[in-house]
Amino acid sequence: MVRGSDNGSEKMAEGDNSAELLKEKANQYFKEKDYENAIKYYSEALELNPTNAIYYSNRSLAYLRTECYGYALADATKALEIDKNYIKGYYRRATSNMALGKFKAALKDYETVVRVRPNDKDARMKYQECNKIVKQKAFERAIASDETKKSVVDSLDIENMTIEDDYAGPKLENGKVTLAFMKEMMDWFEDQKKLHRKCAYQILVQVKEVLSKLPSLIEIALKETEKITICGDTHGQYYDLLNIFKLNGLPSETNPYLFNGDFVDRGSFSLEVILTLFGFKLLYPDNFHLLRGNHETDNMNQMYGFEGEIKAKYTAQMFQLFSEVFQWLPLAQCINNKVLVMHGGLFSEDGVTLEDLRKIERNRQPPDSGPMCDLLWSDPQPQNGRSISKRGVSCQFGPDVTERFLNQNKLDFIVRSHEVKAEGYEVTHSGKCITVFSAPNYCDQMGNKGAYIHLRGSDLKPEFHQFTAVPHPNVKPMAYANTLMQMGLM
């Protein structure tokens, strides 16, 4: 029996050693920013040693870097179940909850860290920052109950805003966006100059009026000879947006575009991206289309940089107006009654119809569940059925879910964005689910290509066009993000 016990101990020791080697391999991939391989080898280490809190914590961090916040939260929680004194586990769980907008849960973990490490300045800073957000949210809920809350537009006197004599930048012509203005504005932004606040407000007020008249589901018809270009996430990467227009031509009545959400956050030129897109929407309202992404929301903007960027470049009041405008962005677009485009994906339940999408009252922050949430947040998965979302919001849906939805609504396929893809696009679910992502070398570190899709009225067969990142000024991504997201991944 003793000999058997020795053999068991030796096997355990061998397993532990092998697991450590896998962890070191994963750590190396993590340093190289190859997070997918890091996750793979942390997972293999956990198969050999499933009671190691460090492995779960490390994998949690890798999941955070790939925006799989639901998985990151689960791993951090598991690490703490194994070792409730493992402080990094509390950091990881707090960061995951922050990313999901669960600020009260995050605050509880930061409180634990501060209690255990009262002299840790970084921990105390995170606790104070999170506490400030929790109080701010409580205040916002209190004033939101006021039914008579006015639009920012009502408090603006744009006509009497003065454009100073020394301002040499673009101005709207008789208050209207023109092609000449758009070209001048894009050049102005490319030189890192700021549009006059009067012009920015004019664009925002006008685009809010245009968007508010649109349905939640846009329906367009392409003639046989016509094509449309579909772009995925641009995430504040202004210089890559300019490159799309260079490669594919400026938007026009004969060169229509659809930008599929997540225009802002992360990249540090989100203002320039969104004002350019809004300007083209005003110039070509019937030929330039914008759909809402999960980052056109207050929680995301607060954490991932857009709110901070607008406050740094303009004012808090202007951010509030952006927030109002984002709530009017349509949620989905149907092309020739055959192709449905949305930012995230399909639904947590079967039976959703196009008519259901038309009925969504979208002028609000997205709810935590239901069709509006799913359109912004869900992701496809290779296996049939549905599973819990890796993001911690909505769900993941399989090829059978896609097939049933398409059959019920007499559609051919869906186009969505929302996920970084190494090649800029991915075709899954037997060609019925296409992902397109248009932010190359995402966050200056992922090394991915960007892509856009051409759809022609004659056959609606997707044509993929890839491109690589172009140089941009030395401003790092996340420069305006909440300090908890900049520093939380320790």
Catalytic sites, residue numbers:
295
Q: Which neighbouring-strand residues pair with 388?
A: 395
Q: In the block, which residue shows the tokens 């296996």?
A: 383
The structure tokens listed for 1 are 């029996």
Rounded to whole angstroms, the maximal C-alpha distance in the chain is: 93
d(CA 265, CA 237): 9
For residue 59, count other CB atoms closer than 10 A to its CB: 31
Whole-angstrom CA distances from 230 to 180, 214, 324 are 24, 19, 25
Report the 10 Å Cβ neighbour count for 413.
Answer: 19
Helices (H), 418-460: none
Q: How far is CA 306 from CA 112, 252, 315, 322, in A?
A: 30, 28, 12, 10
363 CB neighbour count, 10 Å cutoff:
12
Q: Number of H helices and number of E strands within the chain?
A: 18, 14
Q: Which of 146, 147, 202, 143 is CA-nearest to residue 321?
A: 202
Cβ(33)–Cβ(445) under 8 Å?
yes
Strand partners, 387: 396
Contact yes or no for 345/379 (Cβ under 8 A): yes
Which residue, among 404, 393, 397, 400, has the nearest Cα to 351 in the 3D structure? 404
Question: 166 vs 126, 185, 196, 239, CA distance in Å?
Answer: 42, 17, 11, 27
* Per-residue three-class SS string for 178-223: CHHHHHHHHHHHHCCCCCCHHHHHHHHHHHHHHHHCCCCEEEECCC
* Of 270, 268, 261, 327, the residue nearest 295 (C-alpha): 261
Cβ(449)–Cβ(487) below 8 Å: no
Q: At how many degrees (to 10) do helices 87-99 and 121-144 cross?
A: 30
- How far is 473 from 385, CA to CA, in rounded Å? 45
What CA–CA distance (Å, rounded) separates 250 from 241?
11
Strands 413-416 and 339-342: parallel
Give SS3 for 415.
Answer: strand
